Structure formats: structure tokens, C-alpha cells
Copies of this chain bind each other. A is one copy, B any other.
Amino acid sequence: MARSSTGLHDQLLAAALRLFVQHGFRGTSLADIAAEVGCSKASLLYHFSNKEAILGELLLPVGKEVVALDARLATLPGEEAVRAGVAGLVDLTVRFRQEIKVLFDNMADATSLREADIEGLEGVGQRLVGALAGGSSAPLDRVAATMALGGMFLAGAGPLEMDEETLREAMTVSALRTLGRTPG
């Protein structure tokens, strides 16, 4: 609808992200995306080889950063990895709110390219939980880590209305609390 001066490729990408967030990957047709930017479906498929490629291009930046965070945490000793993990995940969830919501709502559809496009993304969830658990395998620590992870994702994806700095601060404090740590 709104036709800005940016390239069509980016317009389509932005429209797709908006629609994927609202109606999901399967709930959004190529025609929907094309209509939103006012071009033809054929033109959309000129810029992207197929539907999955759109999702891929949308999720690639987040995926890379998640992998990078995972690698960084692996070099840190347990206690520091917890703090760094929380900080990194808060940063990611705030910066990529919409992308992460899309990833969550469409894990089944994104699975194929997750393994294909980005190296080292298999089992990254498990490793992040491990890092947040401080390397512990005690049930309480594992559950707490899973809940902290889920909480951050949902808080980022949710309709919280507050300035970003306040959100980051609150998420960090809450996540550390969940993990049994006090801030600072």
C-alpha cells in the first residue's frame, strides 16, 4: 500500500515480516505480500526464488547472531556464561522482536532452512539452556534456564509498551532472578 522510495526487495521483505508476524508463515500467501506493497506476485517471485527464501532471508540475521552468541558463551566459564547469556539474549530479543516471534510461531516451517542455511544451529537451543543453567544438569537449574529463555522470548515478542531501555533492564533483572542470581 504505502509505496516508499526504498527498493522493492526491502519493501517486500518488510511486508512479509509484518504479515508473518500477524498471520503466520502458512497463513500468509505470496499474493498477500505482493498486494501489501502493490506489486504483482510474479514480481515478488522475481526477487525471491520461492516462499521459503523469504523466510530464510528474514531469519538469517537472527540466526547468525544466535550462533555467534552460542559460540561466545562456549568460551566462558559457567558463572560468566550465565550473565553474558542473559545479556546477549535480552539484546537479541529486543533487537529482533518480530523476527523471533516469527521464528517461534513457525518453527515447523523454519526447521528445514535452519539446518540448511546456517552452520552450527542444530541443538543451539539446548546449549543456550545449558549456558543459562551455568552448566548444571540439576532439574531445577535446567527448568529455570528453560523458563528464563522462554520468558525473554515471550517478553520480547509480546505487546509490552514501554521504552526500550526500561524493557531491557526489567528483562535482565527478571531473567537473573529466574536463574537464582541477583543483579550486579
Contacts and interface: CB of A to CB of B under 8 A. Distances in A.
Interface stretch (A7-15, A23-31, A54-62, A114-122): A23-31
Nearest to A145: B174
Interface centre among A23, A106, A140 (most CB of B within 10 A): A140
Contact of A150 (B23, B109, B144, B151): B151
DSSP majority for the A interface?
A: helix
A27 B109 contact: yes
Interface residues of A, number: 41
A124 B68 CA distance: 37
Contact of A108 (B22, B149, B151): B22
Interface string A157-169: 0101010001101
Given A142-B160, A150-B152, 8 more contacts: A105-B107, A142-B162, A142-B170, A146-B155, A146-B160, A147-B151, A147-B154, A177-B178
